[in-house]
Amino acid sequence: MTLRVVDAFTDRPFTGNPAAVAVVERFPTDAYMQAVAREMNLAETAFVVTRPDGDHDLRWFTPTTEVDLCGHATLAAAHLLGGSARFHTRSGPLICRSVDEGFVEMDFPADPPAECDPPAFLGLSGVRWYGRGRFDALVELADASAVRSLEPDLASLARIDARAVIVTAAGDRDGIDCVSRVFGPNVGVAEDPVTGSAHCTLAVFWGERQAKTRLVGEQASARGGTVRMERRAARVLLGGQAVTVGEMRLTV
């Protein structure tokens, strides 16, 4: 099995979010794919099987579990397949296409958050809004500097029954509509560098607040990355670039 490592949501190596991608003739056992993902120890390892009709089946694994939706590993897989691809996944069909300036545009389901009371153990100060989407919890803080400087208690965040916790605020520089960071201790990812699927929630949240259809989000992790978003009813178009940085072959 050959795996290629792709940095997603960036145009420069060693930034953005790295994903390992294996294009295989058939899916190995679940246990083997999980073991490979644990060995790679990246936020996601993706496995792709090409169908006879030219479409592809796609599955994603963190170091500890299989997940229902992943943006950056889908971008990485589409990048390796030439930019345009139709994937069949646990979240339905995901269509990717090459667009301008080396960007890949991905058609994902929107995940609007519903406001609810934050748990008492959240451990974050200055919370302006708290809610839940299908996969993730969303926390709005006072400003972007609070998001950038945040040092959360991951043990407290792990008590939330969600795939991950998105912490966000309005953008603080030209061309950036929102800033976010994403913490996923429940799926073995302390902090995800750039989370495409989180922007399915952020696009709705900030798009409604700012009365915008098209937005740009910055994920303010140590590696950093940007995600273009376009709201289309129950869907969100996510756009990003990607760079292949390495290749390895498993012999067992």
Q: Which residues are catalytic?
A: 44
Q: Is 208 helix (H, G, I), strand (E, B) or coil?
A: helix
Q: What does the alpha-carbon distance between residue 225 and residue 193 come to, in Å, rounded to a whole number? A: 8
Nearest to 23 by CA among 64, 71, 81, 75: 81
Q: What does the alpha-carbon distance between residue 150 and residue 136 come to, in Å, rounded to a whole number? A: 18
Distance of CA 251 to the CA centre of its chain: 29
Q: Are 231 and 109 in contact (CB under 8 A)?
A: no
Nearest to 74 by CA among 221, 166, 204, 199: 199
Tokens of 234: 């129950």
Q: Which residues, at least 6 apart from 213, have a Cβ–Cβ distance to it below 8 Å?
A: 207, 230, 231
Q: Is 230 helix (H, G, I), strand (E, B) or coil?
A: strand
Residues in the chain, overall count: 252
Q: Which residues, at least 6 apart from 252, have a Cβ–Cβ distance to it below 8 Å?
A: none
